[in-house]
Amino acid sequence: RAIGDEAFGFWNVVIKHWSTTRHQRCWVYKPVNILNKLQKSVQPRRKETLHDIWMAYRQQEAQKAFGQFGIRYNATYPKAAECLTKEKVETLAFHDFPAEHWTHMRTTNPIELMFATVKLRTNKTKNYKSRKTILAMACKLTQTTEVN
């Protein structure tokens, strides 16, 4: 199982090296991408509709909510409807696994948050003396964000 957003380099590596890996689109970024294709005034109501999809208890319910989104918004917001439906299988792949794993499989945010500190620090500090220094700092920052 691989979870990600539109990081095409990541997906290319996954396909090349682990061709049987199931793909799951991140449910934090997917709604953001869809909502960016809408007017600001209608985004809150449409966001609720998207929540009906990813919070559905069964895949059949999610499929139904997908269809309803398309029926409601395809004519008025075709770009948003296309953004939602173009990766339908990857967006709902988490339903093929036990429900207790869904919260971890829907999003890449826990992973991204862990590395945000490292990214911030390495962007701010440009004068590293050696590769060893960079790796030591990244390792230490990563350890501070680990969940026990």
- How is the chain split into domains, by residue range? 2-98, 109-145
- Confidence at residue 78, expressed as pLDDT on a 0 to 100 scale: 92
- Confidence at residue 79, expressed as pLDDT on a 0 to 100 scale: 92
- Confidence at residue 102, expressed as pLDDT on a 0 to 100 scale: 74
- Which long-range CB contacts under 8 A does 78-87 form with residues at least 24 apart? 79/37, 80/34, 80/35, 80/37, 80/38, 80/46, 83/33, 83/34, 83/37, 84/30, 84/34, 84/50, 84/53, 87/25, 87/30
Q: For every one of its 148 residues, what pLDDT tens digit does the chain have, with 9 covering 90 and above?
A: 555 565 656 667 767 777 767 777 777 778 888 889 988 888 888 888 888 888 888 888 988 988 888 888 888 899 998 888 887 888 888 888 788 877 766 666 555 556 666 666 666 566 666 778 777 777 777 776 665 4
Q: What is the pTM of this model?
A: 0.60
